[in-house]
Amino acid sequence: MAKNDEKPAKKSAAKAYDASSIQVLEGLEPVRKRPGMYIGTTGPDGLHHLIWEIFDNSRDEAMGGYADDIEVALLPGGYVRVADNGRGIPVEIHPKTKLSALEMVMTTLHAGGKFDNESYKFSGGLHGVGASVVNALSTNAQVIVHKDGGIHMQEYKIGKPLAKVKQIGKTKQHGTITYFRPDETIFTGGIEWDWNKIVNHLRQQAYLVKGVRITVIDAREATEASFDDSAFYLRELGLEVPSMTFYFEGGLKSLVAFYNKHQTIVHKNVFYVEKEQDNVIVEVSFQYVDDITPRIIAFANNIYNPEGGTHVTGFKTALTRSLNSYGRAANILKEKDENFTGDDVLEGITAVVSVKLPEIQFEGQTKAKLGSVEAQSATASVFGSALSEFLEENPDDAKAIINKVLLALKARKAAKAAKDSVLRKGALDGLTLPGKLADCQVKAPEEAELFIVEGDSAGGSSKQGRDRRTQAILPLRGKILNVERARIDRMLASAEIKALVVALGTAIGDVFDLSKLRYHKVIIATDADVDGAHIRTLLLTLFYRHFRPVIEGGYIYIAQPPLYKIARGKDVRYAYSDAEKEAVLKDMGVAPAEVSEVSEGEEAAPEEVAEEVKGKKPAKANIQRYKGLGEMNPSELWETTMDPAQRVLKRVAVEDAQEADRIFDILMGTDVVSRKSFIQSNAKLANLDV
User: Of 155, 194, 307, 529, which residue is the catalytic one?
Assistant: 529
Convert the pLDDT of each residue in 384-443 to its tens digit: 999 999 999 999 999 999 999 998 888 877 766 655 555 444 433 445 678 889 999 999
The verdict on 103 and 177 lying in the same domain is: yes
Q: Does 61 score more than 50 pLDDT?
A: yes
* CATH number of residue 313's parent domain: 3.30.230.10
Q: Does 555 score more than 50 pLDDT?
A: yes
DSSP letter (8 states) at residue 33: H
The verdict on 442 and 347 lying in the same domain is: no
User: Of 56, 69, 439, 454, which residue is the catalytic one?
Assistant: 454
Q: Does 382 score more than 90 pLDDT?
A: yes
Q: Look at residues 38, 262, 9 and name the one whose alpha carbon lies nearest to residue 133.
A: 38
Q: Could you give the CA distance from residue 210 to residue 221 in angstroms, rounded to a whole number?
A: 32
Q: Does residue 641 lie within any of the structural domains?
A: no
For residues 637 and 460, is the Cβ–Cβ distance under 8 A?
A: no
* Torsion from C-alpha of 115, 118, 121, 126, nearest 10 degrees: -10
Reply yes or no on whether 612 is catalytic.
Answer: no
Report the pLDDT averaged over residues 24-30. 58
User: Of 68, 447, 531, 580, which residue is the catalytic one?
Assistant: 531
User: Of 56, 439, 484, 527, which residue is the catalytic one?
Assistant: 527
Domain that holds residue 415: 252-419
Reply yes or no on whether 510 is catalytic.
Answer: no
Q: Please state the domain count of the chain.
A: 4
Q: Could you give the CA distance from residue 575 to residue 564 in angstroms, rounded to a whole number?
A: 5
E strand map for 94-207? 138-147, 150-157, 160-161, 166-170, 175-182
Q: What pLDDT band is residue 306 in, cutting at 50, 70 and 90?
A: confident
Highest mean pLDDT of the ranges 355-364, 659-668, 673-682: 355-364
Around 393, how many Cα atoms within 13 Å sit in the side-chain half-sphere?
Answer: 9
Q: Does 492 score more than 90 pLDDT?
A: no
The verdict on 330 and 450 lying in the same domain is: no
Between residues 30 and 182, which one has the greater pLDDT? 182
Q: Does 562 score more than 80 pLDDT?
A: yes
The verdict on 481 and 523 lying in the same domain is: yes
- Which residues make beta-bridge pairs with 62? none
The verdict on 509 and 470 lying in the same domain is: yes
Q: Does 614 score more than 50 pLDDT?
A: no
Residue 14: per-residue pLDDT? 44
pLDDT, averaged across the chain? 82
Calculate what percentage of the chain has a pLDDT beyond 90.
44
DSSP per-residue codes, 271-309: EEEEEEETTEEEEEEEEEBSSS--EEEEEETTEE-TT-B
Convert the pLDDT of each residue in 131-163 to its tens digit: 889 999 999 999 999 999 999 999 999 999 999
Residue 617: per-residue pLDDT? 60
Backbone angles phi, psi at 52, to 5 degrees: -60, -40
Q: Does residue 571 lie within any of the structural domains?
A: no
Residue 411: per-residue pLDDT? 80
Considering only the C-alpha atoms of the chain, give the largest distance between any 2 of them, rounded to a whole number of Å. Answer: 94
Reply yes or no on whether 529 is catalytic.
Answer: yes
* CATH number of residue 524's parent domain: 3.40.50.670
Residue 499 CB-density burial (10 A; 0-12 exposed, 13-18 middle, 19+ buried): buried
CA distances from 225 to 76, 218, 232, 274, 304 (A): 11, 16, 16, 47, 37
Q: Does residue 276 lie within any of the structural domains?
A: yes
The verdict on 372 and 431 lying in the same domain is: no
Q: What pLDDT band is residue 128 in, cutting at 50, 70 and 90?
A: very low
Convert the pLDDT of each residue in 196-207 to its tens digit: 999 999 998 999
The verdict on 240 and 268 lying in the same domain is: no
Q: What pLDDT band is residue 10 in, cutting at 50, 70 and 90?
A: very low
